[in-house]
Amino acid sequence: MPIAAGFLHFAIAIFFAVHAVRSGKQNYWLFVLFAFPLLGSAVYFLAEYLPTLRHTHGGRKAVRLMQGIVDPNRELRQATIEFDRTPTAYNESQLARAHLARGDVERAIELYRHCTTGAYANDPSFLKGLAVALFEGGQHAESAATLERLFTAQPDQQRGDLALLYAEALSGAGRPEADAVFDRVMASNGSIEARCKYGEHLLKRGRQADARASFEQALADAKRGSRHSRDLNSEWIRDARNALEGLRTSG
């Protein structure tokens, strides 16, 4: 058992050492990792590896999991205290965000709905929060309708992440205009994430050849990009590879 544990600690240290070299970290990390295999790996994970995970969807889940282990109610508790002390729309939106981070989607939707009434009915940050919560709750049609409400009030908001979310929501709702919206998004957003999501949309539409081309383009872009870019998009790169493997297997 001690030998197996020692091998596991050494394997983890090697994993983080490879990450350190590829990410261009200072060389002293290699000494820390191999001089103190268990403690060094723990320190590297918290100081260098964990922060990079915040830039990926899967990583954000991992970060929330780690935070939940240390203090599962910290963010929600603080948001509740602030809202109880000063029940403003902003504090209510922060409480909604805290519930969403904890996975309590229905409560988050309820709070965001209340934020987007009265004087703040067209507030872009509140409408965005509501649209995201609805999307995560699988209510794609209402998420799309909320974004349309936002775009009507603030046309300049229909770009970037919100435009991509709108395309996804339309796709999830099965609305036929999703194709045209995705086409517009892809004309201005050539990110690896966008190409993967477009590929997933095309697969749902039965357009396998087009989906394959989108996934292949995502991997080609990743190959041309920097190491840092590949780290940030590791989840989408993996999804593209898995999708292509599935397409090869199916035919």
Residues 115 and 37 in one domain: no
The answer to whether the beta carbons of residues 93 and 74 sit under 8 Å apart is no
C-beta separation of 157 from 127 below 8 A: no
Structure tokens at 234: 């590791």
Look at residue 8 and tell me if it is in a domain: no
- HEC string of 107-141? HHHHHHHHHCCHHHCCCHHHHHHHHHHHHHCCCHH
Domain that holds residue 135: 83-189
What does the pLDDT profile of the chain (251 residues) look like in tens digits? 355 555 566 777 777 777 767 666 666 777 777 777 677 777 766 666 655 554 455 555 555 555 555 556 788 899 999 999 999 999 999 999 999 988 899 999 999 999 999 889 999 999 999 999 999 999 999 999 999 999 999 999 999 999 999 999 999 999 999 999 999 999 998 899 999 999 999 999 999 999 999 999 999 999 998 888 888 888 999 999 999 999 988 76
Q: For residue 245, is it within any domain? A: yes
The pLDDT, as a whole number, for residue 34 is 75
Per-residue pLDDT, 1: 37
Predicted local distance difference test score (pLDDT) of residue 75: 85
Q: Give the number of other CB atoms < 10 A from CB of residue 134.
A: 24
Determine if the pTM surpasses 0.95.
no
Question: Which residue, of 70, 98, 118, is where some domain finishes?
Answer: 70
Would you say residue 45 lies in a domain?
Answer: yes
**CA Rg, the chain, in Å?**
22
CATH number of the domain within which 158 lies: 1.25.40.10
